Structure 1
Amino acid sequence: QTDFDLSYGLTGQISLQPQHIHHFATSPHDVTTATMTRAADAVSNRLLKLGELIQTNITQLIESRRAVAATGNGTESSDLPPWSVFNAQRALQAATGSLTELISQPENRLLEVSSQYFEARALHIAADARIPDLLAETAPGGVPVVLLSAKVGIEARKLSRLLRCLCSIHIFTEVEPDVFANNAVSAWLVDNEPLRAYILLFGLDLYTASDHLPRALHDSVKGSSYAVDQTAWQDALGVSKSRWDWLEEKTSASDLREGCNAAVQGTTDTDTAARTPSAPGAGGQGRDAAAASPKTPYPGVFGTELSRVVNSGVGDGQPISRPEHAIFSLAMVGGGRVFGRAHLHDFPWASLGAATVVDVGGGSPLLFETLPFNRMDSVPLVITLQFSALDVDLYFGRIEAVTDVTGITGGFCLQLSHLYPDLKFVLQDRGPAINKAHNEVWPRENPAALAAGRIQFVVHDFFEKNPVPEADVYWLRYVLHDWSDDYCVRILSGIRQSMGPRSRILICDQVMNTTHGCSDLPPAPEPLLPNWGYYTRYSHQRDLAMMAIINGIERKPDEFRELVERAGLRLRKIWDCRSQVGLVEVVLPNSEL
């Protein structure tokens, strides 16, 4: 018998084809009724354990949410769930992945995953067209697709199919045939420009880079390289410069319209070369002066982002900043909102007393700064530094207010300064950013801290020795994941030279785990995968994105340990946080902590 259907008492079945039998026996002839029974029992036991875990965590989630609603203050921040809710959420998300594995036909599941990029593409299109905002402008009964079609310029039947694809994964809802409305998920995009930008970020040059990743992995040079300018992204753009250099170039409306995304219309920031230094043995990392092809595999921005430029009346040859630059800047605020709040509360900052926190590099390799703004009177610092008034009108004209400082250079310290009034800070960055922070940001956002001398501003290149000796905390947020190992060792070594016996480095990055688990991280409860499986999908997706565009790495604990030891340091602790982004504490080998 070569085909078995094993009933396990729940909806669904396991189909054992001949090629599957080796999991249970040495050859097809060894398959017995007892073997098949054991296989069925194993699946049944996992399903029953999953059912118990799901029921337990659903109960926990409901009770915790009721408690929060009753007290009104069940967490440190309205945007941060209590630990009980967070643990229940990630357990339930992980359980959905395990459940999918056990109840799906394997071939169906494989086909589903192989084509999921079309779901992502549908979301990119919907976000670009501002479908959530359009739906929010009408009554709760929904909007007929023909009306949406007229507003966004996508043929009605095709738009309906795009939205129904998203409805089927519970983004939007179809209240009746071809009539759509927001649901609890899509509603988060209403008037949420930072989150929209974060979604668009993955639908632009990053998306095209993923298309070139298979060839890059097999390329004789790029396949083994960890240089910032030897990735799939270079193939996607038809250039050999780094993505950081490209983002800061000028372009034109005609180039955007024609998809000429490699053509340089101006010069880049003079600091750019310093941000892409040569790693030991990596070769040159600066800009490529050779003429680029006028057409690139990457087609460029689309939909409303392209229309904004094309219909603006800007002269075809007039230099303008790349729209991807503005989108990235705003997306950093969106990412900060999603992942950054936990770090304000899940490390014991209050226990440090009057400690000094040095923010090294501000948390982004481009050192973008984004502040609350309302048109030209208070715009993102990245615009005032690198964007013209024309760029503001083109890329930020619709935004009326963003009241979040999570994406700015030094924004984390600004938040800490309000929550922990004893802490002192040193903000390190490039000269223009430091000047803005000193003269505009802190006087507006926390003038009392500035007047009390709690904040200092220092121009610094994080590849050099840190100028602040024996600080209590050196804060590295979203820095190391942008760089391959040799670069990271240089960054850490520069800090080590200034550390004292009671100093620590806090690395704020994703901390990856294997599906086998590791001793540095608490495992998920059985029968879940030890690394929380399905819950960590985005972490792995972002890891591959970093690989494709800049050879960055989201690291496992042993990889962090290897880095810090190469830099003459010791990994002291990994802090579990209510986020997919963790904290890695690093000290000197002879630390007194």
Structure 2
Amino acid sequence: MTLAVLRALHAIIGDALEDIDAVYSTAASSRSSSCTLPKEPEADVLPPSPASSTQPKSSARRAGTPPLLSNHSPTPATTLSVSAPSKRIIDFPSLDDPVDPADDADAEAERLRSNPAVANAVSRIVAACGQLSITVRSPFLVLCDAGMGYHLPSALRFLEAAHIPELLRPAGPEGLHVSAISAALGVDAEVEGRIAHILRLLATHHLLIEREPNVFALNRISAMLDTGKTYADVARAPEKKYESTNGVAAFFALNTDELFKASAYLTESILPHTAPPEELTVPSTNPSPAPPLSPRTGSHFWAWLEAPGNEARLARFGSAMGGSRGWEEDGIEAFPFASLPDGALVVDVGGGIGSTSMLLAERFKGLRFVIQDREAVCKLGRDAWRARCPELLEEGRAVFQVHDFFTPQPARHTPVGAFILRVILHDWPDAFARRILVQLRRAAAPDTFLVIGDHVLPYACAIEGAEALRTLRGAKWPLLANLGQASANAYWMDLTMQVTFNGLERTLPELVALTASAGWRIVRVARTEGSLF
């Protein structure tokens, strides 16, 4: 039976590769013949409806209002043309080579990666490969990887915090010897050897390339951590490293720093008796590179983040929220905003520095935006908008507003077209999340949209009934119903919310119950193909 499972997993991988090849072959042929390549229709996770889409958002209305409708038009076909008709010039992006946005073939290859057929095939490959490798490997070695995997985010944090991506970029594909890296960092010969071992762990997990012994180069993965600034600039002013960037480096710096440290206390948060006495000390004669540091703060995360001394972390958090857009990629069309009239007001509740609103303001020129958050965050947001799109502030199309979302909405006397709650509810347990939703319901008009942006977690098992509709497309036997490792990002984030905020990512039944308790009714659930967001 096990061999039959392995063969089935192998077949899933082969079929998925054929699907990817078909899309890229068609695109290559289209570039050669100047024909039109239509974008494959995106599949929703619920039965077809007039508002089906793949944007990772839950749309809700006040109870008793009609279902959400959308006047979105189909994505227009894209016409591509190039000479050399006999040569295939579009291939799936290479792991070894950072993406060159100035290269047309590179840009097209990356665009095709978000094609729904490709994204779904990629999910099947990741799910099947993960399940296949776990099945054939020694259980002890599987547990070794699971039990010692904490070193990977530690190494990733070192890579980012030492600004090594910015250091390696000028070296190009040839890479840089660890001695040169160490010299730039100003460390001695003993530490140089340790750095080589850290980078080798990352290369072993395909996050870097070791070109020859102790010579390392960026690849497509680690290049994402490159801010595009010079090493000299970020080393001289690390607190400004993430300003005017896409936020990806900030997002992973956040994840591998305080969020990673909080995870170490998951068990203690549920089983307090497992924590050692605070006064317990164990004398040791072993040398230690640094004294142990406890991440316990004695305050809520937000208060700690705004405390004196954490200014750089606060700024990083704001940038990181923009960097998390990789979950959604090209799913903007699933937002309901195209159906709103010109001049309609969109309130981005807990909107941080306004990364989501900025994206929407560029797409929907007739809408007005209010971004609400804490005072310190609003200040960072205004600075970010003045640097990137000052005209939106000057024209009054976007306004930052200091607001506590547990209190009545300042906009309650103004008709609101839509509220946005992007990565907000997952920060809070149900009792607090309900308080947020109740305040929005009281401020909502009968036709007000509520767009919730969170991961929606499927069960890992097959079930019957309405929830079975949440089974992911392509999750056929012997794959898990949630596509296993292909969906792991969402479950990582679920535990991150638990250990950092006492929050959680929710299943669909949990979201339905939560919104209903505050007077809202979910009318549509959509996600980006290849993501649970």
Indicate whether the TM-score tops 0.5. yes
Quote the residue 2:460 is aligned against: 515
CA distance in 2, matches of 1:350, 1:504: 12
- 1:561 deviates by 0.8
CA distance in 1, matches of 2:381, 2:342: 22
Quote the residue 1:324 is aligned against: 313
For these two proteins, the number of residue pairs brought into alignment is 417
Q: Find the residue that maps to 1:246 and give its secondary structure.
A: helix
Quote the residue 1:532 is aligned against: 483
Quote the residue 1:304 is aligned against: none
Task: Tell me if the contact between 2:457 and 2:532 (Cα under 8 Å) persists in the aligned partners.
Answer: no
CA, structure 1 residues 68+150, in 2 after alignment: closer, same or farther (shift >3 Å)? farther
Say whether 1:43 aligns with 2:32: no
Q: Which structure 2 residues correspond to residues 1-20 of structure 1 after superposition, within 5 A?
A: none
Q: Which runs of 5+ in 2 are unaligned?
A: 40-74, 79-106, 229-241, 276-292
Q: Which structure 2 residues correspond to residues 202-217 of structure 1 after superposition, within 5 A?
A: 202-217=255-270
CA distance in 2, matches of 1:351, 1:64: 34
Say whether 1:101 aligns with 2:137: no
Task: Tell me if the contact between 1:477 and 1:508 (Cα under 8 Å) persists in the aligned partners.
Answer: yes
Task: Tell me if the contact between 2:27 and 2:37 (Cα under 8 Å) persists in the aligned partners.
Answer: no
- 1:124 deviates by 1.4
Match of 2:361 among 417, 426, 434: 417
Match for 1:523: what amino acid? Answer: L
CA, structure 1 residues 168+490, in 2 after alignment: closer, same or farther (shift >3 Å)? same
Match of 1:497 among 438, 442, 454: 442
- 1:489 deviates by 0.5
Quote the residue 2:216 is aligned against: 180
- 1:449 deviates by 8.6
Q: Find the residue that maps to 1:138 and give its secondary structure.
A: helix
Task: Tell me if the contact between 2:422 and 2:453 (Cα under 8 Å) persists in the aligned partners.
Answer: yes
CA distance in 1, matches of 2:381, 2:180: 46
Q: Find the residue that maps to 1:342 and give its secondary structure.
A: coil
- 1:205 deviates by 2.3
Match for 2:470: what amino acid? Answer: L
CA, structure 1 residues 457+60, in 2 after alignment: closer, same or farther (shift >3 Å)? same
Quote the residue 2:21 is aligned against: 59
Task: Tell me if the contact between 1:475 and 1:507 (Cα under 8 Å) persists in the aligned partners.
Answer: yes
- 1:40 deviates by 3.8
CA, structure 1 residues 521+423, in 2 after alignment: closer, same or farther (shift >3 Å)? farther
Match of 1:462 among 366, 381, 405: 405
Quote the residue 2:52 is aligned against: none
Q: Which structure 2 residues correspond to residues 227-238 of structure 1 after superposition, within 5 A?
A: 236-238=294-296
TM-score relative to the length of structure 2: 0.69
1:70-119 Cα deviation digits (max 9, x unpaired): 67997789776232332233222222212222332332222222111112
1:385-434 Cα deviation digits (max 9, x unpaired): xxxxxxxxxxxxxxxxxxxxxxx23x322322221223343444456766
CA, structure 1 residues 360+68, in 2 after alignment: closer, same or farther (shift >3 Å)? farther
- 1:443 deviates by 11
Q: Find the residue that maps to 2:174 and give its secondary structure.
A: coil
TM-score relative to the length of structure 1: 0.63
Quote the residue 1:333 is aligned against: 322
CA distance in 2, matches of 1:170, 1:522: 30
Q: Which runs of 5+ in 1 are unaligned?
A: 1-38, 223-234, 252-320, 368-407, 583-593
CA distance in 1, matches of 2:151, 2:115: 35
CA distance in 2, matches of 1:485, 1:479: 12
- 1:465 deviates by 3.1
- 1:556 deviates by 1.1
Q: Which structure 2 residues correspond to residues 156-195 of structure 1 after superposition, within 5 A?
A: 156-192=192-228, 193=242, 194-195=247-248
Say whether 1:552 aligns with 2:496: no
CA distance in 2, matches of 1:357, 1:520: 33
What root-mean-square deviation, in Å, do the aligned CA atoms of Structure 1 and Structure 2 show? 3.4
- 1:242 deviates by 0.9
Quote the residue 1:278 is aligned against: none
Match of 1:354 among 329, 333, 342: 342
Match for 2:313: what amino acid? Answer: E
CA, structure 1 residues 485+159, in 2 after alignment: closer, same or farther (shift >3 Å)? same
Match for 1:199: what amino acid? Answer: F
Task: Tell me if the contact between 1:482 and 1:546 (Cα under 8 Å) persists in the aligned partners.
Answer: yes
Quote the residue 1:34 is aligned against: none
Q: Which structure 2 residues correspond to residues 264-343 of structure 1 after superposition, within 5 A?
A: 321-336=310-325, 338-343=326-331
- 1:360 deviates by 3.7
Task: Tell me if the contact between 1:195 and 1:331 (Cα under 8 Å) persists in the aligned partners.
Answer: yes
- 1:569 deviates by 1.9
CA distance in 1, matches of 2:416, 2:274: 41
CA, structure 1 residues 146+64, in 2 after alignment: closer, same or farther (shift >3 Å)? farther
- 1:164 deviates by 1.6
1:495-549 Cα deviation digits (max 9, x unpaired): 1123233222110111111112533524231133221221222221121111111
CA distance in 1, matches of 2:450, 2:4: 45
Task: Tell me if the contact between 2:168 and 2:175 (Cα under 8 Å) persists in the aligned partners.
Answer: yes
1:419-472 Cα deviation digits (max 9, x unpaired): 122334344445676688789947972637964x65566554322333335533
Match of 2:306 among 248, 253, 263: 248
Q: Find the residue that maps to 2:421 and give its secondary structure.
A: strand
Q: Find the residue that maps to 1:513 and give its secondary structure.
A: coil
Quote the residue 2:98 is aligned against: none
CA distance in 2, matches of 1:55, 1:139: 30
- 1:490 deviates by 0.6
1:162-181 Cα deviation digits (max 9, x unpaired): 22211111111111222221
CA distance in 2, matches of 1:139, 1:473: 46
Quote the residue 1:149 is aligned against: 182
1:278-311 Cα deviation digits (max 9, x unpaired): xxxxxxxxxxxxxxxxxxxxxxxxxxxxxxxxxx
Query: Which stretch shows the higher mean deviation, 185-194 or 174-183?
Result: 185-194
Q: Find the residue that maps to 1:250 and give its secondary structure.
A: coil
Match of 2:391 among 447, 462, 470: 447
Q: Find the residue that maps to 1:560 and give its secondary structure.
A: helix
Match for 1:491: what amino acid? Answer: I
Task: Tell me if the contact between 1:61 and 1:88 (Cα under 8 Å) persists in the aligned partners.
Answer: no
Match for 2:406: what amino acid? Answer: F
CA, structure 1 residues 350+41, in 2 after alignment: closer, same or farther (shift >3 Å)? same
Say whether 1:198 aligns with 2:251: yes
CA distance in 2, matches of 1:439, 1:45: 56
CA, structure 1 residues 67+508, in 2 after alignment: closer, same or farther (shift >3 Å)? farther
- 1:130 deviates by 1.9
Q: Find the residue that maps to 2:443 and give its secondary structure.
A: coil
State the identity as a percent: 27
CA distance in 2, matches of 1:183, 1:440: 29
CA distance in 1, matches of 2:497, 2:303: 16
Say whether 1:126 aligns with 2:159: yes
Query: Which stretch shows the higher mean deviation, 113-122 or 60-69?
Result: 60-69
CA distance in 2, matches of 1:246, 1:461: 17
CA, structure 1 residues 459+69, in 2 after alignment: closer, same or farther (shift >3 Å)? farther
